[in-house]
Amino acid sequence: MNKEQYVRQVTRHLNASRLEQKRIQQDLLSDIDVAIEAGESWDEVLKRWGPAQEMAQELSENMDLPSKKSHKGLIIGILSGVVGVIVIGVVLTHLLAPQQISLKDSQHFDEEVVYQQAQRVIESMNNADFDAIYDLSNAKMQEALSTAELKENWESLHAGSFQEISRYYSAEIDSRLQGDYAVCEVLVTYSNQPVTFTISFDTDMKLAGFYMK
């Protein structure tokens, strides 16, 4: 992880105003540069500072920042354009509407690779490894993703422990506006309740959309 990514992750975990986030980002980036100027390597700074979430927690506690609200049963839509494109396609004309293609016939996606990547995403959620979700995401998704919010909303579902993947469906969405995506709908049974994940991947197999209910 480079310093910009680290600092971005720190501020994503903070429930702070944009102005406060900007101030913190500037100061942390400056401190990294100063430490490197003083002879430390970026790895040494990273080791001294600890994980981004810890830094964010320390900042939050010392700045008396409120914790992010959790909404029980709230449906989370963190998309990087896929669902928006689909909605626009339906409302506009048939010509602009995304075409749905079976992955077996896809020229851009391998059905098995998509399934394995979807499994990886679900395993990360099962392990509460939200940083892994961030790492699996494409750049647009990373900008929109708040791991702190993802964590709170996942925990608010109280799904329980993973039991099995009960149903899996995938297809390629060929959008004239924004390109091709592999979309998976996965019904996962947990000890307390089932959760349906809608997971989208771009042609680089990076997470481009994530939705759960």
Q: CA 57, 13, 27, 20 torsion: positive or negative?
A: negative
| Comparison of 61 and 164: residue with beta carbon closer to another protein | 61
| Comparison of 10 and 208: residue with beta carbon closer to another protein | 10
| Comparison of 26 and 41: residue with beta carbon closer to another protein | 26
| Comparison of 34 and 92: residue with beta carbon closer to another protein | 34
Helix (H) or strand (E) holding 114: helix 111-126
- What is each CA distance from 54 to 30, 33, 68, 71, in whole angstroms? 19, 20, 16, 24
| Comparison of 34 and 87: residue with beta carbon closer to another protein | 34
- What is each CA distance from 153 to 68, 147, 176, 189, in whole angstroms? 10, 10, 32, 18
| Comparison of 20 and 131: residue with beta carbon closer to another protein | 20
Min separation Cβ 30 and another protein, Å: 6
Min separation Cβ 63 and another protein, Å: 4
Binding site for another protein (CB under 8 A): 20, 23-24, 26-28, 30-31, 33-38, 48-49, 54-59, 62-63
Min separation Cβ 149 and another protein, Å: 20
Min separation Cβ 60 and another protein, Å: 9
DSSP lists the bridge partners of residue 189 as 164, 194
Query: Three-class SS of residue 47?
Result: helix
Distance CA 149, CA 147 (A): 5
Min separation Cβ 28 and another protein, Å: 6
Min separation Cβ 57 and another protein, Å: 8
DSSP β-ladder status, 207-212 and 194-201: antiparallel
Distance CA 180, CA 3 (A): 32
Helix (H) or strand (E) holding 152: helix 147-157
